[in-house]
Structure 1
Amino acid sequence: MTTESQHRRPKIVVMGGGTGLPVILRNLKGHDVDITAVVTVADDGGSSGIIRDYVNVVPPGDIRNVVVSLSQLPPIELELFQYRFNSSDQFLAGHAIGNLIIAALSEMKHGIFGAVQELSEIMRVDGHIYPAANEPLTLNAEFSDGTVLKGESEITAAHKLVKHVWVTDSNDENKKPAAVDKVINAIMDADQIVLGPGSLFTSILPNLMIENVANALRTTQAEIIYICNIMTQKGETEQFTDADHVRVLNDHLQQNVINTVLVNTQKVPDEYIDYQRWNEMSTQVKHDFKGLRDQHCRVISADFLELRDNGAFHNGQLVVDELMNLLGQCGTRYM
């Protein structure tokens, strides 16, 4: 056995968007693993949405936060990259400096994929960051009442039960969205693929609805792990159990692809959640362990809860500790 093979680092692909993805990546960064983050490009809200409307680039907000989570730059430089102009600045009001830099690099490199690779070098990123597609995508949703909406922010604001989502090319609805080869190769070469945590329909599924990504997930030999949400989301996943979340993923991928589910069993204290501040949160996700086993899932249930700011979130360190345990169970593959 060669020295190179003895020191091969396990390859982990983490897929998602929103605020959940950086939580996992920040805690993975300190481990001896080869990290690839695949980031959704279907966000159309806030500063990202405004930049997208005027500059016609992939919305940069999720990418900016992922870059920071994996960057090895000093805190002051990361603080500058994340700085958001206040409302008195009029023209620049609400924009984060990092979003503007990503938009500029996208024009210079003729696409978001090359821009993010260049930015990763500048920001001393420990790992790989791959936008799910090289062009902006539009998220589409059909609701349980038969109505259809376009746009991540519109879908979220509707607070209606989502039946099905799909993505289209924002610039050409007749063009089939596709991930670049590096994304597909990362999925196929991975030892572990992590989905979430994050909004089921607007952060996780947009990546999976790209056809060649879905095909890769159906055929990869990697263990596919879903980090189930702690709270349901108003309208979108109200009354969902953990098994319902997995069922939606499997149904969209037309195959039972989820191998392992991480489920939080720690109770969120009554009256703790500030529902006015965290208005997307609804109730704590209920458990249906039989429903999970019926979908051939291994279930790992533990305390993954972090209570802060009157909200319920995943404790990134506890989640990553479990991911490392799962890699250790197949330790002979990495020696």
Structure 2
Amino acid sequence: MPHPPVVSTSIPEVPVQRGKVRDIYDFGDRLLLIATDRISAFDWILPTAIADKGRVLTQISAFWFSQITLPHHLLSLDPGELPIPDGVNLEELEGRSMVVRKTKVIPVECVVRGYLEGSGWKEYQKSQTVCGEPLPPGLLQGSQLPEPIFTPATKAEQGHDENISFQQMCNLLGTNLAEDLRKKSLEIYRTAVNRAEQCGLIIADTKFEFGLIGSEVILIDEVLTPDSSRFWAKDTYEPGHAQLSFDKQFVREWLESTDWDKNSPPPELPREIVTQTRSKYIDAYEQLTGQSFAWKEA
């Protein structure tokens, strides 16, 4: 049996910001990022949590941070290194916590696409472009692109992130920083793709976030997880239809099959969808790292 899901956390007297999935506690020059088991889709936090999802996200991020040579924000996975007040359940935070350096967050999502899916596929069908980038004719849903492309988006506190052109990104951040972020994003993606392919996985697309400490660019947030990326099974990959995935696309597809209008509170997820989603996340971790997920069983 899985552990009970952690939907929210509480650390008294420490400033906190709550995102769709993460609770972020401010300890001055360091932050404590706690990945809860909340799951979001179509800009809604769903009423049903996925047990241990936050631990999978944290452990996958930690794995990638150990593989990436670029500077990043991760300092430790032990929340006990921070002055946590007495009475806080540290066991509940185990495996889902990252102690990180505080940065000035750069307000652009750095998206890299290696395959044609999602909003990119929808745009391509209309105009043979993705985020305004022209692509060859005749591509199918799930087709591999000739080269990975960088398609930035503005970060939205609430609502949907909005795709922008690279020129708009240059106008927003300055050309030098924009070009540096594009270079770093493509570099990380290519490194990760090579690793994932050795493990039988395809990373179809992903998004990165960066911050600044002084003038130094730092990789932040989660990295190459099933929440921020599309993971596909390499052995069943075939362009022309939706792929077997190890990410929350499975949940999106179930929601699309219901009569939910996406404008009212979303429905509860059925038990079998919750169970299968948890298994997919854990499978992604185990396949990528070659290690057994420590919290597979309660």
TM range (shorter): under 0.3
Write 1 or 2 for the structure with the bigger share of strand. 2
Question: Of the two structures, which has the highest relative contact order with CA contacts closer than 8 Å and spacing of 6 or more?
Answer: 2
More helix by share: 1
**TM-score normalized with structure 2 length:** 0.28
TM score, norm. by length of structure 1: 0.25
